[in-house]
Amino acid sequence: QVQLVESGGGLVQPGGSLRLSCAASGNIFKINDMGWYRQAPGKERELVAVIIRGGSTNYAESAKGRFTISRDNVKNTVYLQMNSLKPEDTAVYYCNGNICTNYWTCNDVWGHGTQVTVSS
C-alpha cells in the first residue's frame, strides 16, 4: 500500500508565504512525476506545478514567479514553496505522484489534501 500525506497548509495573510510538503510511504520502487493540484470551492481541480524525477518543472500561469516546486528523491517527498500569496490561492491543495511498486507497475496516487486559506 502506497500513500501520500500532505502537510503545511493553514491560514496566511495576503502577501505571506507557506511551504507545503508531501511525503510518500509504503512499498515504493520508484516515483516518476510528482505534482501539486488545487481545488477551490465550486471549481474544478487544477494543476499548480509538476516536477519530473530528473528535476524539470512546469507551472500553471497563476503560479509562475510566486511558487516553487522541488523534490527530495531520497526522502520521497515533494515540496511547494508559495510566496506572495493572494486570496485567489485559497483552495485545498492535493499532492499527486506516479508511483511504481515494482519495475512493471506504476499508478497515480493522490493525497487527501491540505487546506490553504489566504485572508486578512
- Return the pLDDT at 1: 87
Residue 24 has pLDDT above 90, yes or no: yes
Distance CA 9, CA 116 (A): 5
Distance CA 85, CA 14 (A): 5
- Residue pLDDT, tens place only, 80-106: 999 999 999 999 999 999 999 999 999
- Say what the alpha-carbon torsion angle 111, 83, 11, 59 is, to the nearest 10 degrees: -30
pLDDT class of 109 with cuts at 50, 70, 90: very high
Averaged pLDDT, 56-73: 97
